[in-house]
Amino acid sequence: MAELSTSRRLSPRWAPLVERAYEIAGLASDVVAPSLDVVVRVWLAQSLFTSGMVQTMDWSATVFRYAAEPPIPGIPPGLLATVGTGFALICPLLLIGGLATRAAAVLPLLWLVFLQITEMPLDTQLYEMLLLGLLVVRGAGPLSIDHVLAPHLPGSAIPFAASLSRIGPALTRYAQPAYLLLARLTIGGLLLRATGPWFGPGLTTSLIAVLVTVASVAFAAGLGTRVAALALLLAVPILPAATMGMDSRVLLTLLLAGFVLRGGGALALDRLVDARLRRLFPSLGSHADAHQRWLDGAPRVEIVGAGFGGIAAARALKHAWAQVTIVDRRDYHLFQPLLYQVATASLSPAEIATPIRSLVRGQANCRVLMARVGGIDLERREVLAGDRRIPFDCLLLATGARPSYFGKDAWEAHAPGLKKIDDATAIRGRILSAFERAEASDDPEERRRLLTFVLVGGGPTGVELAGAIAELARHGMRAEFRTVEPASARVVLVQSAARLLPAMPKALSAAARRSLEALGVEVLTGAKVETIDDQGARVGDMRIEAATVLWAAGVMASPAGKWLGAARDNSGRVVVGPDHAVPGLTGVYALGDTAACPGEDGKPLPGLAAIAKQQGQYVAQRIRAEIERRPLPGPFRYRDWGSMATIGRKAAVADLWGARLSGTVA
């Protein structure tokens, strides 16, 4: 792939490290920070609620306390005590759920400000004020009722709903940067004061004090905010006890953790550092136009197929100097392991289909084309997609697989497979229609045939589908019919091998069989299907009359191998080496169900989603290494994190990191 190598516009040597740091920061902000928001709300809520409960336990003392404090003109102490205690009990409940969070936070915030001004100022109250203020300007976060209700608020019947819906975003946009600056300066100043007793007693404590001082100054200035906040966070437990109580330490820890996860905000020196880094490392893509100029003349990497392998490869090339194109006949990425739940009406198709564009939305070097690929012109190095010809320098084929009927293609009309959403919705229609037709039938024999379901194949798909149909009949449709009893449905699982789930340990295969039989599924192992027609199937010498026969017995690869004229195995998969390159073709790779790649034991790896994802990441790393003239990774090695199969609602079998689980726990 020498034509991909170039000395132009290569990222600096440290680019992968910087890119990984940015990715970790983004992951922390998007994934971990929402959970921290919940912790902050719960901690503040329990503190407020405890205060409210204490006030209710001795009401006369509470009224006396409100009377002794500086009065609010025109409000009697008794009424003030009632209102204050009420808010102390109601606001915590709102904070925990994240409902009307800003209003629930602003009331105790104003009260703490009042106490801080009129009584003795306390650091603990100050930290609480900072946390409450963050809730006011930032909101409750994604894990809250507010986040769920926000899109529906403008069109609701609540008075002034449209105006209220604009307040939150305005606070976040305009007030949050200034508030974060204020919080950094306040926290930095308090920490500088707290380290005072450390100076002088000894060299070790003085050195720690100097480090904390430097970190505090950097944190206040917003220079390396995440790193400085992390250093201060680690120092909180060892701060002098005389300067900080336990409550203050907890509140300070929550504040610093927020800055570690989210950074210092817009009014921080980090913003200047970020701009400089993005100029030094163009792969970070500071602006779309600048990023596109950086990509001028970059190698063209075409990915055919937006399955697990194709998406993993595209995302792993996010920072590469490459023009990446994903071509797929559909505009969504399908989570195939849950297709059986769509087929049994447990999930809707939208819940397992994600738009491809949303998966690469933040990836400036990637575009998505919806087209059906019909061939590859290797001489001109072009992908043939309808009337289009898409040129490539590097090609990744991740085109997946389709059901294989082992030469009995006529069976497909009577026993559909499960590989696409269209398959799942068609099977769902068959299953539900069978129950409806049985309800309307007056013939007992016809009812039995309609309520008989035969599944061919005892792999994960067959096992999960059989369990889901049995659960649907025995629990999902309970008391919904008047003429027939859905629980009387007969579900038969046929497996030609000696046991179910042959890829799993024998103990788990046996557990899966027991779980299925507990649901009423008839399991036939070592049984071969002889014929399938519109009336049922013949298994060995036994005829099973069934209105619904479903196929989960095998798959075959897409025609990608034919497009390339490459060597293929019996399932049509392209034979590739440990680097996933197609032998004899420069810059052409195959992965996932399209490839027959040898594992450590020399046997081809199975077509699992986890394997396809790791293959996609590996091929992307190899392509980027070639583009940037870096050492190539070694041969692909699959890291097996385990596998599992779900059997109904309350049972599964799992082989995870060497631990073998079955039943409800699995």
In DSSP notation, 557-606 reads E-THHHHHT--B-TT-PEE--TT-BPTT-TTEEE-GGGEE-B-TTSSBPP
- What's the maximum distance between 2 C-alpha atoms anywhere in the chain? 97
**CA-to-CA separations, 216 to 187, 190, 237, 247, 571, in angstroms, rounded:** 8, 9, 15, 20, 63
State the virtual CA torsion across 247, 252, 253, 258 in degrees, nearest 10. Answer: 140
List, in sequence order, every residue forming a beta bridge with 452; answer none if it has no partner. 490
Token pair recorded at residue 86: 């009420």
| Per-position DSSP letters for 323-364, written without gaps between them | EEEEEESSSEEE-GGGHHHHHTTSS-GGGTEEEHHHHTTT-T
Q: Please list, in sequence order, all residues whose beta carbon lies within 8 angstroms of the beta carbon of residue 345, skipping any fewer than 6 positions away.
A: 428, 431, 432, 472, 476
- Name the token pair of 643: 């596998």
Q: Which residues make Cβ contacts (< 8 Å) with residue 31, sequence separation at least 6?
A: none
Identify the burial level of 228 via C-beta atoms within 10 angstroms of its C-beta, where 0-12 means exposed, 13-18 middle and 19 or more buried. buried
Q: Distance between CA 253 and CA 425 in Å, rounded?
A: 50
| 623, 4 Cβ separation under 8 angstroms | yes
In the structure, how many helices (H) and strands (E) does the chain have? 23, 24
| Separation in Å, CA 620 to CA 302, 315, 319, 391 | 11, 9, 11, 18
The two tokens of residue 303 are: 């990915």
**8 Å CB contact between 37 and 140:** yes
Q: Which amino acid is at 222?
A: G
Of 230, 381, 400, residue with least CA distance to 311: 400
- Side chain identity, residue 588: V
User: Is 464 known to be catalytic?
Assistant: yes
Buried b (16+ CB within 10 A) or exposed e, 504-536: beeebbbbbbebbeebebebbeebebeebeeeb
Which amino acid makes up residue 48?
L
Q: Which residues contact 477 (CB under 8 A, 6 or more apart)?
A: 435, 486
Neighbour count for residue 224 (Cβ, 10 Å): 19
Nearest CA to 395 out of 580, 633, 629 is that of: 580
Secondary structure (3-state) at 140: coil
How far is Cα 204 from Cα 542, in angstroms, rounded to an integer?
84
Which pair of tokens denotes residue 60?
């006369």
Neighbours of 583 (CB within 10 A): 11
- Spot the catalytic one: 302, 464, 471, 628: 464
- H/E segment holding residue 522: strand 521-525
Catalytic site positions: 464
